[in-house]
Amino acid sequence: MATAGELTIRPVRPADRDRVVELTKDIWNGHDYIPAVFDDWVGDAASSFQALEVDGEVVGLQRLRPYAPGLVWYEGLRIATSHRRRGLARAMLESAIAEAHEQGRGEMRLATGNLDAVHLFESVGFQRLLDVRWWRGLRVEGGESARIPSPAEAEKLWPAVAASPGIELFHGVMADFNGARDLSAAELARLAETGMLRVGPGGRAVAGLRRPWGNNIAVGFLAGAGGSLRELLMALRFEADADGLDDVVVSLPREHPAADDLLASGYDFANADDHSYIYALKL
């Protein structure tokens, strides 16, 4: 438990539920996801879901979630509207960074779409890794789903993936807003092992999937170009249809050259005006 003046940062408890629901009611026009994940987060002993109390009242939240060796994901930062612009988010973030550092984590990563929060994260040294555009392709009937390679085959795809046009725009990580992992041969094998990798014809195009938020197939990275990538992008739309899902959502770094292949395969921008960033801080 960390205290500074009358501020207390302590674990969130099941009994905090009503206050957390109240605190998040006016965040994102009532669409905050925290009430939906509250029970999971409170029950997850591997992560640290924290409340900030001021004068005995919970006014802030944050969570640190270890998700890969050396990496901790920072999420759920919230300050009650009644208590904004008093440095409370900064105090919570600094405490989280100190805690991750003490635990010997090498890096903290996070995703945000809030430009106010971007100022905060950049001011403590976070570097922007990804500036993501969301693309959407609706389900379509009639074709074959893409193939899932074996883990051994997936590892061998790595040299081609690493040489793929635009791969440098990923800055070495998946565009996964649940936890951006390092892109590597081992990561391709892990994705294949868990059924989350798809390959196009001849292994010349590759899609890494992430856990979806909605009723869709969610893609966190793409490699390849031209005909084989277009076939893979269509195959994902066929797979969405075969699985009874609405669409395929692809998060891709801004200016990525696959944009042309996405357009040619019936995908559109889903967030032309939004901001979606992934940041990292070396600890």
Nearest distance, CB of residue 118 and ligand COA, angstroms: 8
With contact defined as beta carbons under 8 Å apart, do 52 and 9 qualify? yes
Nearer to ligand COA, 114 or 184 (CB): 114
Minimum CB separation of residue 159 from ligand COA in Å reads 35
Q: Min. distance of Cβ 233 from ligand COA in angstroms?
A: 30
Residue spans of beta strands (DSSP E) within the chain: 2-4, 7-11, 48-54, 57-68, 71-79, 107-112, 127-138, 197-199, 206-210, 216-223, 247-253, 267-269, 277-282
Which burial class, exposed, middle or buried, applies to 4 when counting CB atoms under 10 A from its CB (0-12, 13-18, 19+)?
exposed
Rounded Cα–Cα distance for residues 178 and 232 (Å) = 24
Closer Cβ to ligand COA, 89 or 283, answer by number: 89
C-beta of 9 vs 233, nearer to ligand COA: 9
Q: What CA–CA distance (Å, rounded) separates 165 from 223?
A: 7
DSSP state letter for 140: -
Which C-beta is closer to ligand COA: that of 31 or that of 85? Answer: 85
Rounded least distance, CB 12 to ligand COA, Å = 15
Residue 161 CB, shortest distance to ligand COA, in Å, is 29
- Residue closer to ligand COA, measured from CB, 84 or 202: 84
Q: Which two tokens stand for residue 266?
A: 């019936």
Q: Which two tokens stand for residue 12?
A: 């969130």
Between residues 77 and 234, which has the closer beta carbon with respect to ligand COA? 77
Closer Cβ to ligand COA, 119 or 282, answer by number? 119
What is the closest distance, in whole angstroms, from the C-beta atom of residue 182 to ligand COA in the complex? Answer: 21
At closest approach, how far in Å is the CB of 89 from ligand COA?
3
Alpha-carbon span 35 to 28, nearest angstrom: 13
Report the alpha-carbon distance of residue 111 to residue 105 in Å, rounded.
18
The nearer residue to ligand COA, 180 or 258, going by C-beta atoms, is 180
Q: Which residue has the tokens 């692809």?
A: 250
Binding site for ligand COA (CB under 6 A): 27, 77-79, 84-90, 112, 114, 116-117, 119-120, 123
Least distance (Å) between residue 95 CB and ligand COA: 12
Phi, psi for residue 5 in degrees, rounded to 5: 65, -130
CB-neighbour burial class of residue 184 (10 A; exposed 0-12, middle 13-18, buried 19+): middle
Q: How many CA atoms lie within 13 A of 268 on its CB side?
A: 5
- Residues 273 and 276: their CA atoms lie apart, in Å, by 10
